[in-house]
Amino acid sequence: MSFARDGWVRILTVVLVLQGVAFYAIAMRPERIPPVGPLDLFPGELSGWTLLQDVKIEPEVQDILKADDLLSREYVNAAGTEGVYLFIAFFKTQREGQAPHSPKNCLPGAGFEPIESFPITVQFPGRDEPVKINRYLTARGDEKSITLYWYQSHSRIIADEFAAKFWLIADSLKYHRSDTALVKVVVPVRANDAAGATKTAVSFAQAMFPALSRQLPM
For residue 70, which of 84, 55, 80 has the smallest C-alpha distance?
55
Kindly report, residue by residue over 38-82, the tens digit of the pLDDT: 999 999 999 999 999 999 999 988 988 899 999 999 999 999 999
Render the burial of 66-98: b for 16+ CB within 10 Å, e for the rest: ebbbbbbbebebeeeebbbbbbbbbbbbbbeeb
Higher pLDDT, 215 or 109: 215
Kindly report, residue by residue over 81-129, the tens digit of the pLDDT: 999 999 999 999 887 777 888 888 878 777 889 999 999 999 999 999 9
For residue 136, which of 197, 81, 75 has the smallest C-alpha distance?
197
pLDDT band at 11 (very low <50, low <70, confident <90, very high): low
pLDDT at position 3, please? Answer: 43
pLDDT at position 28, please? Answer: 57
Please name the residues in contact with 183: beta carbons below 8 A apart, sequence gap of 6 or more. Answer: 87, 88, 149, 150, 151, 152, 212
Contact, 89 vs 109, CB < 8 A? Answer: no
> Could you tell me the residue ranges of all domains in the chain?
1-30, 33-215
Higher pLDDT, 174 or 146: 146
Checking if the pLDDT of 17 tops 90, the result is: no
pLDDT band at 208 (very low <50, low <70, confident <90, very high): very high
Indicate the pTM of the whole model.
Answer: 0.83
Checking if the pLDDT of 21 tops 80, the result is: no
Q: Strands, DSSP E only, in 45-82?
A: 45-46, 49-54, 69-77
